[in-house]
Amino acid sequence: MIMPVSADKVPPPSDDKRWKIVSATMRRHGYSPNALIETLHTVQESFGFLEDEALRFVAQSLSLPLSKVYGVATFYHFFTLKPQGEHTCVVCTGTACYIKGAKSLLDELHQKLGVKAGETTPDNKLSILTARCLGSCGLAPAVVIDGNVVGNVKTGQLLHHIEAQVNAK
Ligand code: FES
């Protein structure tokens, strides 16, 4: 007899702790396909945008066809798919990070690069996004550069962190 695979057993794409936040939303709804929109909201709030691997993980976990998940993600304007920049910098603007200076980080990016949250530099090198909580509040203010969490970011350091990440590729 073939036992059904529990949705909880769908492995997350990586050991990034933000997947636990996403899984918690799905678990709270019993992995019901009806949890799709709320789960996508959680992904966006945790990651800043909906990347392909996140859509695949959600589709598998909620036993939905990937096409359906893409359909919903592209239909609603409040969801952001992977931005066009070659690199991404997601600034957390959740309470802990906001109190510790997230706004000055965004202001700095705006002043130095001329781009605001949701925008991409004219050379398409870097997209700036925001998230509501990266699950790393102890590291506030935290940003994620190309998927790597950087904590305790001070004003004046963010561009160095971005350059280091971009040059490491
Ligand atoms: S509020 Fe920024 S990581 Fe939680």
Q: What is the mean pLDDT of residues 69-98?
A: 93
Q: What is the CATH number of the domain that holds 162?
A: 3.40.30.10
Q: Mark which of 75, 98, 116 sits at the end of a domain.
A: 75
119 and 71 fall within a common domain: no
Residues 100 and 163 grouped into a single domain:
yes
Q: 134: Cβ below 6 Å to ligand 1? A: yes
Do residue 91 and residue 144 come from a single domain?
A: yes
Percent of residues, the chain, with pLDDT higher than 90: 82
Give the relative orientation of helices 52-61 and 36-47 as an angle to the nearest 10 degrees: 150
In this structure, what are the phi and psi dihedrals at residue 126, rounded to the nearest 5 degrees? -135, 130
Residue 42 pLDDT greater than 70, yes or no:
yes
Residues 100 and 149 in one domain: yes
Domain of residue 144 covers: 87-167
Residues 43 and 115 in one domain: no
Strand order of the β-sheet with 148-150 is 126-131, 87-92, 143-145, 148-150
137 CB under 6 A from ligand 1?
yes
Q: Would you say residue 71 has pLDDT above 60?
A: yes
Within its chain, how far is the Cα of 19 from the centroid? 10
Q: Tell me the pLDDT band of 9, cut-offs 50, 70 and 90.
A: confident
Residue 83's pLDDT is what?
87
63 or 1, which is more confident: 63
In a domain, 37, yes or no: yes
Please identify, among 53, 75, 97, the residue that sits at the C-terminal boundary of a domain: 75
Mean pLDDT in residue range 23-49: 96
* Predicted confidence band of residue 3 (pLDDT cuts 50, 70, 90): very low
Q: How far is the CA of 141 from the centre of ligand 1 (A)?
A: 7
Taking only the tens place, the pLDDT of each residue in 113-127 is 999 999 999 999 999
Assess whether 110 and 163 both reside in one domain: yes
How many independent structural domains does the chain possess? 2
Is 101 among the domain residues? yes
Ligand 1 touching residue 142 (CB < 6 A): yes
The stretch 100-104 carries a mean pLDDT of 97
Pocket probe mutation, ligand 1, options 42, 134, 144, max atoms within 8 Å of Cβ: 134
How high is the pLDDT of residue 1? 45
- Report phi then psi at 149, rounded to 5: -75, 130
Q: What is this structure's pTM?
A: 0.83
Do 91 and 149 reside in the same domain of the chain?
yes
pLDDT interval class at 43 (50, 70, 90): very high
How far is it, in rounded angstroms, from Cα 134 to Cα 18? 6
